[in-house]
């Protein structure tokens, strides 16, 4: 990553499963040229790893906090990405 890129590993909490949240995340990632992945977790949260331009990452987090129409995001927790050394070429929805 260059000086203008960031990598964020996020846990999104609230009513975020069964409301199209992963597909909302993918569409916004495409719109903002962000790479990475998103997946539902067994505890009812959604986790996402996003990589891209610092300004686009900030905008992405704002959009995730709002979520799709039927979602209700209560918190976005930033998790450690220190040991993550992945290169992404696109944005994937994991099952």
Catalytic site residues? 22, 40
74, HSE (Cβ side, Cα atoms, 13 Å): 7
Strands of 35-40's sheet in order across: 72-79, 5-15, 46-53, 35-40, 91-94
């Amino acid at each position: 990553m260059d000086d203008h890129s960031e990598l964020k590993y996020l846990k999104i909490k609230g009513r975020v499963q069964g409301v199209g949240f992963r597909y909302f995340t993918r569409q916004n990632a495409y719109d903002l040229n962000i790479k990475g992945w998103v997946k539902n977790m067994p505890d009812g949260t959604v986790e996402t790893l996003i990589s891209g331009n610092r300004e686009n990452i900030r905008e992405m987090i704002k959009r995730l906090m709002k979520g799709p129409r039927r979602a209700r995001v209560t918190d976005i927790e930033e998790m450690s990405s220190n040991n993550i050394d992945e290169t992404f070429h696109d944005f994937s929805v994991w099952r």
